[in-house]
């Protein structure tokens, strides 16, 4: 499995990836700059990782946002059933 992962990662344009991460990070920072504080996991780390992975996989932003919303509801557990519905519809639209 390591060779397959290494081969896939080697094909990623590292300069393009860096530019993408910077763009997404700047957007996240702009989003909480006026508040003066942020939850670094929920407002910075998770959104950046999710957005970058979605872009690398070719997932359109709108569907990626729906997937993220569904996953958030599932992990929040307050509305996990609705999260599963949102996630299933988004993945279906992606495929």
Specify the pLDDT at position 9: 83
Q: Is the pLDDT of residue 22 over 90?
A: yes
Provide the pLDDT for residue 20: 93
75, 69 contact by CB (below 8 A): no
Q: What is the pLDDT of residue 18?
A: 95
Q: Measured between alpha carbons, how far is 73 from 83 in angstroms, rounded to an integer?
A: 5
Tokens of 19: 């530019």
Domain count, the chain: 1
15 vs 79: which has the higher pLDDT: 15
Question: Is 88 a residue whose pLDDT tops 90?
Answer: yes
Q: Is the pLDDT of residue 1 over 80?
A: no
User: How high is the pLDDT of residue 42?
Assistant: 85
Range of the domain at 64: 2-94
Within 10 A of 50 (CB to CB), how many other CB atoms are there? 18
Q: Please report the pLDDT score of residue 95 as a whole number.
A: 86
User: What is the per-residue pLDDT across 38-87, written as a single tens digit (0 to 9) for each?
Assistant: 999 888 998 899 899 898 888 998 999 999 899 888 988 778 999 999 99
């Amino acid at each position: 499995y390591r060779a397959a992962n290494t081969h896939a990662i080697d094909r990623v344009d590292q300069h393009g990836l860096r530019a993408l991460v910077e763009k997404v990070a700047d957007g996240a920072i702009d989003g909480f700059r006026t508040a003066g504080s942020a939850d670094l996991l929920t407002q910075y780390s998770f959104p950046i990782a999710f957005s970058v992975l979605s872009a690398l996989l070719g997932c359109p932003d709108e569907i990626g946002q729906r997937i993220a919303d569904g996953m958030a509801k599932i992990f929040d557990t307050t509305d996990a059933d609705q999260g599963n519905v949102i996630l299933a519809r988004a993945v279906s639209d992606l495929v």
